[in-house]
Chains A and B, each alone.
Chain A
Amino acid sequence: MSQPSVTSGINVAFDKFLRTAIEKNSSELLNSVLSFIRRVCRDSIQYRKLNHFNDYIYFPTRIYLLLHSKQRANSIAEVKFSKGYIEILSLHLKEVIWFDINIFGKNARDIADKSLINQFYRSAFQSFSNFLYTVISLNDWQTFNNALVDYNGLSEGVFDNNYQINYELKRLKQEANFDSNNKAVKRLQLEVDTNNKYQEYKRQVLSGIKYWLIFLYSENVINSETLEKTLVETGEGYTSIEDDSKDILKMRSDFSTAFDWGSWDHIQRESGKVYFPPMVSDWTTLGFLISRLRERKLAFIVDELSPAELNDVPFLYDKLASLKQIVLRTYERWIGIVHVESQEELQDLINKFILQVGQAKRRNVGHRETTIASADLSDRLIAEFQQKMVRSWQKEIRIRQLFKHFENFEDVSNEEIKLKFVGQRNFFEKAKMLFIEGEFHSEIYGLEQLGGQIGRNEDDLFFHIVKNSAPEKITAKSMSKLLEDGLSKLRSAGRSPNAIFMEPEYGYKDDELLNHPLFSTRPIISESNGVTLPSIGSFDGVTIFWSFSRSLKNHALIAEFESAFQMLFKSNDERFDHELQVLVEPISKELAAEKLRNEPMKWRTTDEGIELSEDESMTIIETSVIIEIGTLLDFRVIDKSKFVFGDIASPIAD
């Protein structure tokens, strides 16, 4: 439970006093008001009490709103009274910044105290920003002009003039080889940043006002003459491109805490209804674009910014690209403001500017890609990837399960037999991020299908071999007929068939088979070593297995499985120590160079149409990775008389 402060009542009483003073048109009383405010502000800076400062520093807006309502009064004396005081409000505010904060801030020596003084600056600038915004809302252009003159009269903050320290910082940076984690550099950088806050606030407030005016024009709240005049008054062209570029990124991302911009609105909203004021990131970007074009500052320089600060650049680029469409559609409204003759000229300017932002975006991405390209592959992530692959592969192996069940496989490690490689070795573009640790690590979804694919390919290989071994073929009208024929054929030859293979579709589509008296949904062999075998059921005491293999399309294989086929594998191959081998390899320089040689167009330009240097293209290529995944095995037909391969004359409809 907090108790009321000693001065909380005074604040309320003072507000009443202020209102009375204005009601009574008493300039003496109003002078007392102003000198009291100034005193409290001064004391609060001296004793570093920001909360008291914030209670009073918004006085220009507070007094202005009271005085402005008097402007419509009939009495000339009243109008004169209010005009006279409105004129000096911004001057008082300027003096708070210019004299009070500067004087009492002078004795600040350490960074903490300087930051505190900066907060006073910030509040004062926010007050100025609010005042200008209020004046604009009331279309009081004379006061606006007046206030801007005062505002532009503010030149230096108390911590300005740091040529020495800036020079020192540059020197240190060079000594530290531009290592951003160097302690001395960090410390000095912090100091420089603290010292620069005053100029930063001053610049941002003015940019905010400028962008807001442009936004008001785009919303038809003010006309082009007013915009032209006010933009000139805000003093265009004094800010550097670096600063402006930095500011817009800040404005777009940090808007909630900035100079109260989030609450700015140009429409009188109905009370009781939910509404959202204009998005800060939207109108600042529009204002930024137009003022860049207008001042012909078409560069976008963000060299000094850290990668974190550049995070917003891609979004800025996208926003600018969409604004470009809007501006071009309503080009008649803008050619006057931007000082161009035609739509083409406007388009030309915008394109030039956006290209510059695109290059900055490229640089942002470039940082990310350099990091990825130079990072080492993580063994942990590779192992994780391998396990994932093995899991999905195991779900799809069917034939291999059967060979295991019937135990008709042979280890040919010591024989000079070349086995077949079932799998793939692929160049995966931009996939290296999957295998590195750190902030740029990212998942790629759907890759685990690769493992499953290998399982299916094994099936395929098997049926391909069987099909091409010139087996004994029979043809029948339907599947059930085929099975009857095939089984009786094998049985009459003294064989005991124990496996039928067909497509899974027959298990639910072929009514003739399903209703056949010999068909049962219960397989004879349903599982092996705890693994369920892929089965539809059984026919005349023989289990029906299914496989997705394309070679089985409208075919069926009936066999005495263990004596008809054999699977071969090697257990001692140095690369294939597992059943499924998963290898992840980075891109070597040679390979990258080769890629670039083969497809220069693909690698030398980005999606934004920006051309890259050879090194940059190489970096992009190096963010890729090679993934090799597969099994090494072969199948062999031992006895052709022990199986039949059937064709179906009239296949079931798909």
Chain B
Amino acid sequence: MQVWQLSSKKSLRKSILETLKEDQPDLYISKKPNILKNFISYLSDKRHWWTIPPLVIGIYIALTLINIPFFAVVSIDEKIADTLIDQRTSNVATIISMTLAVIGLLLGNLAIKEPITYNLLFIRSRVHLIVTYTLSTILCLILTSTLRNSTPVGYEYLYPQAVLAGTYMVISILFFIGYLFRTVMLFSNSHELQQVLKDEFFSEAKKNIRLHLLNKLSKQRYIDLMRRMEYTEASFWSGLGGVIIENEDDNVDLFKDDKLIYDINLIDLEARLKKCDPAISKEYLALGINEVSGSHTSYISINVSGSCVDIKFNKIKLEHYLVRKSADQLLSPSFEFAKYFEGKLEEYAEQGKIKKANEVLALFGDIYELEMKHT
């Protein structure tokens, strides 16, 4: 029996994340989940580029079909529409080329020319999203201008509406490009950029601490439950005997079965443990969430004497109470920004840049403090 998902009542993972949010809110950047922001972030991700063109085309068609009274204030006849559509298309093309040229110029003047800052710039400015959006809009406009004479009979009134919708979309591009410029300008200011990097470093550290705490607290809760049920932790040596912790078959490839422990169902496990024969010897192996291990295949609670108690009944297959995923889905801490600053510290020391080195050291001190405070 494989469990894929736990209801939020039974999920230890969710329960811990909730307690964390409540008890240590400063580990989280924003307290409330922002759906719009998350959606934009999702779209901004390089890997999700293919979702944008259909979305834009969808919006375009929607704007065309739904005759929004507010937009319909402007009245366009077919003739003007012909001129407009051509102009808008070339307008957008010009804007795009100009924008790219300016961005190129600004990128050349980036305050800190490091792979990490380029990377950060691309993410922060949402350049992928904006470029794809613009290109998709051009696609829509070109299609409209090409199909101007092929409007199905009886639907001619849609054509001016489409042109109007295209115009509004072109206007929205201007705002996006404004945003893009603003971000790029920010990145040409070294002081500002440093601050951005520091912020990123902090949020990276916070994320790592959250991961650490998720593992630590879940393990703690698991052990607490076991202690409450009067189980003792199996030592390495008792495990070696093969009596307490048993695998289904004897020839186990130690690492073959390694799985990521994604979630634990402590509630059902506790209920099951309560049903156990109290007389048998009780041992368990400690485990926690976000941990790759082979102990998920083990059993808890096997009686040592083995003669009088039915072993089968008392074997509790742990995997029934775990949500497991493949080992490559492990969330590992990332040290991208930490490594950047560590490298910087060395560099500043070499170059004798004392003030800058002190800044980095102060930052490290803050990270230490953050860690000490929360772990």
| A100 CB, min distance to chain B CBs, angstroms | 14
Chain A, Cβ-Cβ closest to B258: A1
Is residue A10 contacting chain B, with contact meaning CB distance below 8 A? yes
Interface residues of A in 440-454 (CB under 8 A from B): none
Is residue A273 contacting chain B, with contact meaning CB distance below 8 A? no
Interface residues of B in 187-235 (CB under 8 A from A): 205, 208-209, 211-212, 215
Query: Cα distance A596–B361 when bound, in Å?
Result: 79
Chain A residues, CB < 8 A from B373: 47
Interface residues of B in 93-138 (CB under 8 A from A): none
The 7 A-B pairs of least Cβ separation, nearest first, read A13-B342, A47-B372, A20-B349, A28-B354, A49-B372, A36-B361, A39-B365
Check if A7 sits within 8 Å of B367, measured CB to CB.
yes
- Supposing A4-B333, A5-B371 touch, asked if A10 and B212 sit within 8 A by C-beta, the answer is no
Please pick, from A10, A28, A36, A47, the residue contacting B342 in the complex, using a CB distance under 8 A: A10
Check if A44 sits within 8 Å of B372, measured CB to CB.
yes
Check if A40 sits within 8 Å of B357, measured CB to CB.
no
Is residue B369 contacting chain A, with contact meaning CB distance below 8 A? yes
Is residue B48 contacting chain A, with contact meaning CB distance below 8 A? no
Chain B residues, CB < 8 A from A4: 333, 335
Chain A, Cβ-Cβ closest to B332: A3
Query: Cα distance A5–B335 when bound, in Å?
Result: 10
Check if B342 sits within 8 Å of A6, measured CB to CB.
no
Chain B, Cβ-Cβ closest to A49: B372
Q: Which of A5, A13, A36, A46 counts the most B-chain CB atoms under 10 A from its CB?
A: A13
Is residue B368 contacting chain A, with contact meaning CB distance below 8 A? yes
| A42 CB, min distance to chain B CBs, angstroms | 10
Check if A6 sits within 8 Å of B345, measured CB to CB.
no
Check if B365 sits within 8 Å of A1, measured CB to CB.
no
Main secondary structure on A side of the interface with B: helix
A6-B205, A14-B361, A17-B361 given. 6 additional CB < 8 A pairs? A3-B211, A3-B332, A7-B364, A10-B368, A24-B352, A36-B365
Check if A6 sits within 8 Å of B333, measured CB to CB.
yes
| B330 CB, min distance to chain A CBs, angstroms | 9
1/0 contact trace for B340-353 toward A, CB 8 Å?
Answer: 01110110011010
Query: Cα distance A17–B342 when bound, in Å?
Result: 9
| B369 CB, min distance to chain A CBs, angstroms | 5
Query: Cα distance A260–B212 when bound, in Å?
Result: 32
1/0 contact trace for A32-74 toward B, CB 8 Å?
Answer: 1001100110011011010010000000000000000000000
Interface residues of B in 322-344 (CB under 8 A from A): 332-333, 335, 338-339, 341-343
Query: Cα distance A528–B333 when bound, in Å?
Result: 85
Check if B332 sits within 8 Å of A10, measured CB to CB.
no
- Supposing A1-B292, A24-B349 touch, asked if A6 and B357 sit within 8 A by C-beta, the answer is no
Is residue A21 contacting chain B, with contact meaning CB distance below 8 A? yes
Chain B, Cβ-Cβ closest to A27: B354
Interface residues of B in 291-347 (CB under 8 A from A): 291-293, 332-333, 335, 338-339, 341-343, 345-346
Interface size bracket, A side: 20 to 34
Is residue B358 contacting chain A, with contact meaning CB distance below 8 A? yes
Query: Cα distance A1–B259 when bound, in Å?
Result: 12
Query: Cα distance A13–B349 when bound, in Å?
Result: 11
Check if B333 sits within 8 Å of A29, measured CB to CB.
no
Is residue A26 contacting chain B, with contact meaning CB distance below 8 A? yes
Check if B293 sits within 8 Å of A21, measured CB to CB.
no
Chain B residues, CB < 8 A from A52: 368, 371-372
Please pick, from A1, A20, A32, A36, the residue contacting B346 in the complex, using a CB distance under 8 A: A20
Query: Cα distance A20–B351 when bound, in Å?
Result: 10
Please pick, from A7, A17, A39, the residue contacting B345 in the complex, using a CB distance under 8 A: A17
Check if A1 sits within 8 Å of B293, measured CB to CB.
yes
CB within 8 Å of A: which residues of B? 205, 208-209, 211-212, 215, 291-293, 332-333, 335, 338-339, 341-343, 345-346, 349-350, 352, 354, 357-358, 361, 364-365, 367-373, 375
Check if B339 sits within 8 Å of A9, measured CB to CB.
yes
Check if B208 sits within 8 Å of A6, measured CB to CB.
yes
Please pick, from B291, B292, B339, B371, the residue contacting A6 in the complex, using a CB distance under 8 A: B371
Please pick, from B346, B352, B372, the residue contacting A43 in the complex, using a CB distance under 8 A: B372
Query: Cα distance A20–B335 when bound, in Å?
Result: 23
| A5 CB, min distance to chain B CBs, angstroms | 7
Is residue A16 contacting chain B, with contact meaning CB distance below 8 A? yes
Chain A residues, CB < 8 A from B346: 13, 16-17, 20
Q: Which of A28, A36, A44, A52 counts the most B-chain CB atoms under 10 A from its CB?
A: A36
Chain A residues, CB < 8 A from B345: 13-14, 16-17
1/0 contact trace for A360-380 toward B, CB 8 Å?
Answer: 000000000000000000000
| A47 CB, min distance to chain B CBs, angstroms | 4
Chain A residues, CB < 8 A from B352: 24, 26, 29
Chain B, Cβ-Cβ closest to A47: B372
Q: Which of A3, A24, A44 counts the most B-chain CB atoms under 10 A from its CB?
A: A3
Chain A residues, CB < 8 A from B293: 1
Check if B357 sits within 8 Å of A29, measured CB to CB.
yes
Chain A, Cβ-Cβ closest to B333: A3
Check if B371 sits within 8 Å of A7, measured CB to CB.
yes
- Supposing A3-B215, A10-B342, A17-B345 touch, asked if A32 and B358 sit within 8 A by C-beta, the answer is yes
| A438 CB, min distance to chain B CBs, angstroms | 30
Query: Cα distance A506–B141 when bound, in Å?
Result: 131
Check if A3 sits within 8 Å of B357, measured CB to CB.
no
Chain A residues, CB < 8 A from B338: 6, 9-10
Query: Cα distance A1–B285 when bound, in Å?
Result: 13
Q: Which of B211, B215, B342 counts the most A-chain CB atoms under 10 A from its CB?
A: B342
Query: Cα distance A28–B367 when bound, in Å?
Result: 22
Check if A36 sits within 8 Å of B364, measured CB to CB.
yes
Chain A residues, CB < 8 A from B371: 5-7, 52
A-B pairs with beta carbons under 8 Å apart, 11 shown: A1-B291, A5-B212, A5-B371, A13-B346, A20-B349, A32-B358, A36-B364, A44-B372, A47-B373, A49-B372, A49-B375
| A69 CB, min distance to chain B CBs, angstroms | 19
- Supposing A1-B292, A47-B373 touch, asked if A29 and B349 sit within 8 A by C-beta, the answer is yes
Q: Which of B291, B293, B371 counts the most A-chain CB atoms under 10 A from its CB?
A: B371
Chain B residues, CB < 8 A from A46: 372
Chain B residues, CB < 8 A from A3: 211-212, 215, 332-333
| A31 CB, min distance to chain B CBs, angstroms | 9
Check if A43 sits within 8 Å of B369, measured CB to CB.
yes
| B210 CB, min distance to chain A CBs, angstroms | 11
Please pick, from B212, B292, B354, B365, the residue contacting A40 in the complex, using a CB distance under 8 A: B365
Check if A32 sits within 8 Å of B209, measured CB to CB.
no
Check if A10 sits within 8 Å of B358, measured CB to CB.
no
| B63 CB, min distance to chain A CBs, angstroms | 48
Chain B residues, CB < 8 A from A21: 349
Chain B residues, CB < 8 A from A26: 349, 352, 354
| B375 CB, min distance to chain A CBs, angstroms | 8
Check if B357 sits within 8 Å of A32, measured CB to CB.
yes
| A104 CB, min distance to chain B CBs, angstroms | 12
Chain A residues, CB < 8 A from B361: 14, 17, 32, 35-36
Query: Cα distance A170–B186 when bound, in Å?
Result: 71
Interface residues of A in 376-419 (CB under 8 A from B): none
Chain A, Cβ-Cβ closest to B209: A6
Query: Cα distance A6–B345 when bound, in Å?
Result: 17
| A71 CB, min distance to chain B CBs, angstroms | 22
Check if B365 sits within 8 Å of A6, measured CB to CB.
no
Query: Cα distance A154–B352 when bound, in Å?
Result: 36
Chain B residues, CB < 8 A from A32: 354, 357-358, 361
Query: Cα distance A4–B215 when bound, in Å?
Result: 12
Chain A residues, CB < 8 A from B365: 36, 39-40, 43
Query: Cα distance A1–B260 when bound, in Å?
Result: 11
Chain B residues, CB < 8 A from A17: 345-346, 349, 357, 361
Check if B354 sits within 8 Å of A9, measured CB to CB.
no
Query: Cα distance A46–B209 when bound, in Å?
Result: 19
Query: Cα distance A24–B291 when bound, in Å?
Result: 44
